[in-house]
């Protein structure tokens, strides 16, 4: 029996920059998905999850379209591995996860990377973590049909305790940077709106299309090549130009955030988070009035900064908060949700935790 785990993630800053070959700064979360794999000589893999009823049988020769629902992420990994010429055995795969689904915490990448890690370990396959991230992404893009970037898989695979990951998606390079707000009197809060989202829907793909059109209008390979927002006047469509402006300014904010954290300048770091939220609200238009209200209540009560995290249209807002203001910020956010007639949020303090690996207990 092989037991492999992979964590959920939150992105501190750098949203929708991954497929534009820019920068992002995620952390891996303490919440994780564990895949326990008992290989057999069957040509069927039977998967179960504590988060869903019933078992799903996946034929090892599975093709996109054969399996849907949660098990499609596992089937996609089986398919992507075999497409790349790696053998996968049948048997039983039991999944146990405490990464909430649809909350923008990358439950899907945690599942992909846990299953993939179990198959790699069981088959003693030689695949480095960048190759694993690309295979898991291929499973999600081509099997599940969600046109997502590499952010979530790299976060799950490269996460480390007390470290954020500065990812450069053009180079596909991951650099650890110290991230331990508690050591400087601050707390990272995750405020879950419980408004579910999904990326196989049309809005995510529409944002991606806008960015690709803008890059074409500018004659660049990706929006990563653009650093000066003035050149965006040459983008034909006004909406595409605004989408592109989010990407260009967000890339700069990621690098500025890393510099601010290096100097323990939480005020500057927080201001960049709040600016990122405004850019997602006004230029990229992926927030919701509920998420805006959460972020505003947090900053109005003394958070250094707050922003939605993840793909958008629901999920979580994160806030960097002076530790002695955690109670006040939480109460203000809860009150704002009550006043707005929204469901009560779940607010928790979190930290940067380890990435994927063998389960040791
Ligand atoms: C989702 C996608 C990622 C990334 C983020 C937005 O989480 O899976 O690839 O694009 O949205 O930053």
Compute how many other C-beta atoms are within 10 angstroms of the C-beta atom of residue 344: 11
Helix extents (H) in the chain: 71-83, 107-123, 129-138, 151-158, 202-218, 238-262, 266-282, 289-300, 326-339
Phi/psi at 12 (nearest 5 deg)? -70, -40
What does the alpha-carbon distance between residue 76 and residue 24 come to, in Å, rounded to a whole number? 25
**Fold designation for 2-176+354-358:** Ribosomal Protein S5; domain 2 (3.30.230)
Main-chain phi, psi angles of 84, to 5 degrees: -85, 5
> Where do the domains of the chain lie?
2-176+354-358, 180-350
The Cα 255–Cα 52 span in angstroms is 40
Q: Is 66 helix (H, G, I), strand (E, B) or coil?
A: coil
The SS3 call for residue 192 is strand
Secondary structure letter of residue 222 according to DSSP = S
Q: Tell me the two tokens of residue 168.
A: 């450069």
Pocket test for ligand 1, best of 106, 138, 152 (most atoms within 8 A of CB): 152
Domain 180-350 in the same topology as domain 2-176+354-358:
no
Each residue's pLDDT, cut to its tens digit, for the chain (361 residues) gives 999 999 999 999 999 999 999 999 999 999 999 999 999 999 999 999 999 999 999 999 999 999 999 999 999 999 999 999 999 999 999 999 999 998 999 999 999 999 999 999 999 999 999 999 999 999 999 999 999 999 999 999 999 999 999 999 999 999 999 999 999 999 999 999 999 776 656 899 999 999 999 999 999 999 999 999 999 999 999 999 999 999 999 999 999 999 999 999 999 999 999 999 999 999 999 999 999 999 999 999 999 999 999 999 999 999 999 999 999 999 999 999 999 999 999 999 999 999 999 998 7
**What is the enclosing helix (H) or strand (E) of 258?**
helix 238-262
Q: Which of 282, 328, 336, 280 is nearest to 303 (CA)?
A: 328
Q: How far, in Å, is the centroid of ligand 1 from the Cα of 87?
A: 29
Catalytic residues: 152
Q: Could you please state the CATH topology (level 3) that the domain comprising 180-350 is classified under.
A: Alpha-Beta Plaits (3.30.70)
16 CB near ligand 1 (under 6 Å): yes
Q: How far is the CA of 315 from the centre of ligand 1 (A)?
A: 12
Q: Report pTM.
A: 0.97
């Amino acid at each position: 029996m092989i037991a492999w785990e992979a964590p959920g993630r939150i992105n501190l800053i750098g949203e929708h920059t991954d497929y534009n070959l820019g920068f992002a700064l995620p952390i891996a979360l303490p919440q994780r998905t564990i895949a326990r794999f008992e290989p057999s000589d069957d040509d069927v893999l039977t998967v179960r999850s504590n988060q869903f009823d019933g078992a799903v049988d996946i034929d090892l020769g599975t093709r996109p379209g054969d399996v849907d629902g949660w098990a499609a992420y596992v089937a996609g990994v089986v398919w992507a591995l075999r497409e790349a010429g790696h053998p996968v055995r049948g048997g039983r795969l039991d999944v146990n996860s405490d990464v909430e689904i649809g909350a923008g915490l990358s439950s899907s990448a945690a599942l992909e990377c846990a299953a993939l890690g179990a198959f790699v370990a069981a088959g003693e396959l030689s695949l480095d973590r960048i190759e694993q991230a690309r295979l898991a992404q291929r499973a999600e893009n081509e099997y599940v049909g969600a046109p997502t970037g590499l952010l979530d898989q790299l976060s799950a695979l490269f996460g480390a305790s007390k470290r954020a990951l500065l990812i450069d998606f053009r180079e596909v390079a991951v650099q650890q940077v110290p991230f331990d707000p508690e050591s400087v009197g601050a707390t990272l809060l995750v405020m879950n709106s419980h408004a579910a989202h999904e990326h196989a829907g049309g809005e995510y793909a529409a944002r991606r299309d806008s960015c690709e059109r803008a890059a074409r209008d500018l004659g660049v390979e990706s929006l990563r090549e653009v650093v000066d927002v003035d050149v965006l006047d040459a983008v034909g469509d006004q909406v595409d130009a605004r989408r592109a402006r989010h990407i260009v300014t967000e890339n700069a904010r990621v690098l500025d955030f890393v510099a601010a954290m290096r100097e323990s300048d939480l005020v500057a770091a927080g201001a960049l988070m709040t600016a990122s939220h405004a850019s997602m609200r006004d230029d990229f238009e992926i927030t919701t009035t509920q998420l805006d209200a959460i972020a505003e209540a947090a900053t109005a009560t003394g958070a250094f900064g707050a922003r939605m995290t993840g793909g958008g249209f629901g999920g979580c807002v994160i806030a960097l908060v002076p530790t002695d203001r955690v109670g006040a910020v939480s109460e203000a956010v809860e009150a704002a949700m009550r006043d707005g007639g929204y469901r009560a949020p779940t607010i928790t303090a979190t930290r940067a935790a380890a990435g994927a690996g063998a389960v040791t207990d």
